[in-house]
Amino acid sequence: MANTDMKWDAQLDGCHVGGISIKRIADLESYPLPAGAIFPDQNDAIIRGLTDRFGPLHIDPGSLKIFLSFHSFVIRTDAHTILVDLCLGNDKIRADRPQWHMRSGPFLGNLAAAGVTPEDVDFVMCTHLHADHVGWNTKRADGEWVPTFPKAEYLFAEKEYAYWRAEYDKNPPEPLLYGAFEDSVLPVVAAGQATMVAGDHRVEAGIYLEPAYGHTPGNVVVHVEDGGDHAIVCGDAIHHPVQLAHPEWSTNFCFDADQSRVTRTALLEDCAGTGTLLLPAHFQAPEFGRIVRDGRKFGIER
C-alpha cells in the first residue's frame, strides 16, 4: 500500500517505504568541523548567513563550525536485512583523525537496539570506500581484522573497488584512505565475502544501485522503492544541509569536484517536488525529508 504522506519519523529514527523499513544506526554524531575544512568555496559571511536557516543542529552560531553525523541505514525487506555505509568502526588506527582513532563507539549496541544482530545481516553495501563508510565492515578479533557480519555478502561497486585497489597496488606501504582499505576492505575480500557488482546492480525488487560518480570514481546511491514510496540512501552525494542552499559546493574530499557538482544538482533536481525521501550519510538527524525547490536553491521538508 502506498503511504502517500511518507515521512521520516524522528521518534523511530526511521521510516517505512511501502512494506520496507529503514532505520538509522548512529556511530558518531555532532562531529564539529570548520566549514572551510570541507567546502573550499565557503566563507564566514555566507555560513553566518545560513545559521538562522539551518539552526544549531547543523551550524554552531558562535564558532561557525558545521556538524556532521556518521551513521548507517539498515534496510529490512521481507527477504533481507541490508546495511548501507559502515561508518568509522572501532579500534581502527587513524592517527591523523583523533576522533576516528581507536574508537570504542556505540554502533553495534545501536544496531542491537534496532533488533539486528551481526548474524542477521544479509548484505553490506558501501556507497563508496572512504574511511568513514567502511569502518564497521570489519572488527578486531584475536589481533586480526575479520568481517563484522559473518553471514553477509558485501557488495562493492566494481569501478570503485578497482580504482582504490590500483591506488593501493601503486604504494602498498603508504596508508591508503587512512589505512581503511587495508583494515576494512581487503580483509572482507580475503574472507571470500566480497562480491564486485555493477554500478546499477539490483539486490532484489525495489532495492538497486545507481552510479553517482564524482565524490569518488565509482560512487553509487541506493534506491529503495515499494508500494509507490521511494527513498534514496545517497551517501556523500550531498554532505551537509548548507549544500541545499549552495548545491554548487563540492567538498575538499571530492575526487572530481565538477562531476560531483553535476551529480549532486541532478539528484536534487530529480527529487525536488516529488515524494522521494533523501537520506544522506552525514546529515544530523532528523533532517531527512523531501526536497523542495526554492528558486535556484533547494530546501528540505520534514
Q: What sign for the dihedral angle of Cα 246, 251, 252, 256? A: negative
Nearer to Zn ion, 18 or 241 (CB): 241
Q: Identify which range of 90-98, 129-137, 139-147, 153-161 contacts Zn ion by CB under 5 A.
A: 129-137
Q: Which of 229, 26, 213, 238 is nearest to 135 (CA)?
A: 26
- If binding means CB under 5 A, how many residues of this protein chain bind Zn ion? 2
Among 66, 72, 131, 132, binds Zn ion (CB under 5 A): 132
Euclidean distance between the first and final Cα of the chain, in Å?
21
236 binds Zn ion (CB under 5 A): yes
Q: Which of 110, 59, 120 is nearest to 88 (CA)?
A: 110
Q: Identify which range of 145-153, 174-182, 222-230, 234-242 contacts Zn ion by CB under 5 A.
A: 234-242
Q: Identify which range of 2-10, 127-135, 200-208, 286-294 contacts Zn ion by CB under 5 A.
A: 127-135
27 binds Zn ion (CB under 5 A): no
Q: Quote the least distance from Cβ 1 to Zn ion, whole Å.
A: 34
Q: Quote the least distance from Cβ 128 to Zn ion, whole Å.
A: 8
Whole-angstrom distance, CA of residue 213 vs CA of residue 194: 21
Nearer to Zn ion, 6 or 254 (CB): 254
Ramachandran region, residue 253 (left: φ > 0; alpha: ψ -120 to 50; beta: rest): alpha
- Any residues with CB less than 8 A from the CB of 173 and at least 6 apart, and which? none
Interacting residues toward Zn ion by CB under 5 A: 132, 236
